[in-house]
Amino acid sequence: RRTYFRGFASFVKKIRPGRKYRHPKTGEIIQLPPRPYIDFTVSPAFLKTLGVTKTTPRPAGRRKRK
The domain containing residue 6 runs over which residues? 2-50
Residue 16 lies in a domain: yes
Q: Does residue 55 lie within any of the structural domains?
A: no
Could you tell me if residue 64 is inside a domain?
Answer: no
Main-chain dihedrals φ then ψ at residue 40, nearest 5 degrees: -110, 125
pLDDT band at 64 (very low <50, low <70, confident <90, very high): low
CATH of residue 36's domain is 4.10.520.10
Alpha-helical segments (H) within 1-66: 44-50
Give the per-residue pLDDT at 56: 64
* Distance in Å from the first CA to the final CA of the chain: 49
Between CA 13 and CA 2 the distance in angstroms is: 7
Structure confidence at residue 47 (pLDDT): 84
Q: Exposed e or buried b for every residue in 27-40, given b needs 16+ CB within 10 A?
A: eeeeeeeeeeeeee
pTM: 0.55
How many domains are there within the chain? Answer: 1
| Domain assignment present for 29 | yes
Q: Which of 12-16, 37-41, 52-56 has the lowest mean pLDDT?
A: 52-56
pLDDT tens sequence across 16-49: 999 999 999 999 999 999 999 999 998 888 888 8
* Domain-located, residue 62: no
